Amino acid sequence: MPVHMAVADWARSLGAQLVEPDGTIEVPALGGDLRRIRGVWFWQLHGGIPHTHLTEPMERLLAELVARGEPAPDLVVADHGWAGRAGSAGLRTIGYADCNDPGLFVAEAQGQLEATIPLDDDVVPTLYEPLIDYVVGGGWKA
């Protein structure tokens, strides 16, 4: 979440409009629901934010946008199954992935993702600060 929130804040500061429909979105196939904090969508289950490689949360979010008559996003920044699902739906997608999870790297090689960023997703959140500083601090040019 810290990386996603920092990138969302940075994108918004550059004029990006984030996908932010009102309310929560139920995910019947998995239970729980989709919520957002600072423009970042996440799947919530029993009060926690489970780590998942599943595609259903992104499928549900995209279906909800269609049902509400809202346009699809111009760019999706997500991880794991969320990024894979967005890319396979034909949306421009940047995905974060562990190096031991090859799916997104394969999807990028096949042209389904714009880029896959290697990232260890199982570390203490403060350890992401160098990455956040690089992205929003000017190392990565928009």
> Which ranges of 42-98 does DSSP label H, i.e. alpha helix?
56-67, 80-88
82: helix, strand or coil: helix
User: Among 74, 83, 82, 121, which residue's Cα sits nearest to residue 99?
Assistant: 121
In tens, the pLDDT along 29-84 reads 999 999 999 889 999 999 999 888 999 999 999 999 999 999 999 999 999 899 99
Task: Please provide the size of the chain in residues.
Answer: 142
Model pTM score: 0.89
pLDDT value of residue 69: 93
Structural domain boundaries in the chain: 2-136
Q: What average pLDDT does this structure show over 14-40?
A: 91
pLDDT value at residue 120: 85
